[in-house]
A = this chain, B = another copy of it.
């Protein structure tokens, strides 16, 4: 938890301004908070090294305990052989707001981000693979796995899954108001926070849908999904 979270408005006002946010101290040490951010992020940006160059690709991810899973052709090409492992960096970021300060220098974003360093490996065990596919589907839309047509053996075999065995997790967060230079607080310049959030803006049924199929619980719940 950063300082700003544990000090209320009234209490904060009695502190010198420079003490309100510990600049450079945005690291969050509680693992549960980091996992919660990973679970709340719809996608991850997965980095790996290909031909000695960095490569970053957006991917769906899911978590089971301390393991993360990604899938699909792009993902599975990160690790070449079945026996091979490859280092990956999976990063998720939730944007919470634009921090509008009195000087350009102190503008910032409020955010929560988690950087995971891990070793990726092909999932060959069928039990682990099915659990990962269930988790990935339910990550996209909680509860969806139980609503869809059962996965065929052909689909199961055609889908490559990578497990990321986690080595290190680092979470950072910035929240709260801008922190300006002391002498700038008297300037007639507006400052504050513009809050941002991802929202569901519409639900469109497939035009080829049988007319008597109502939206299932997973879809109805998506409009009220907390973040």
Contact = CB atoms under 8 A, between A and B. Distances in A.
A67 to B, nearest CB: 19
A33 to B, nearest CB: 17
Contacts of A38: none
A127 interface: no
Contacts of A190: 147, 205, 209, 213-216, 219
Which of A13, A104, A145 is most buried by chain B, counting CB atoms within 10 A of its CB? A104
Q: How many copies altogether? A: 2
Interface residues of A, number: 88
A209 to B, nearest CB: 6
B198 A219 contact: no
A205 B190 CA distance: 7
14 contacts: A43-B95, A43-B109, A45-B47, A55-B115, A107-B137, A107-B141, A186-B210, A187-B210, A188-B212, A191-B206, A192-B203, A196-B199, A197-B199, A198-B199
Contact of A149 (B89, B187, B205): B187
A1 interface: no
A147 B200 contact: no
A223 to B, nearest CB: 8
Contacts of A186: 210
B200 A198 contact: no
A160 interface: no
A89 to B, nearest CB: 4
Contact of A206 (B87, B105, B177, B207): B177
A48 B54 contact: yes
Nearest to A20: B208
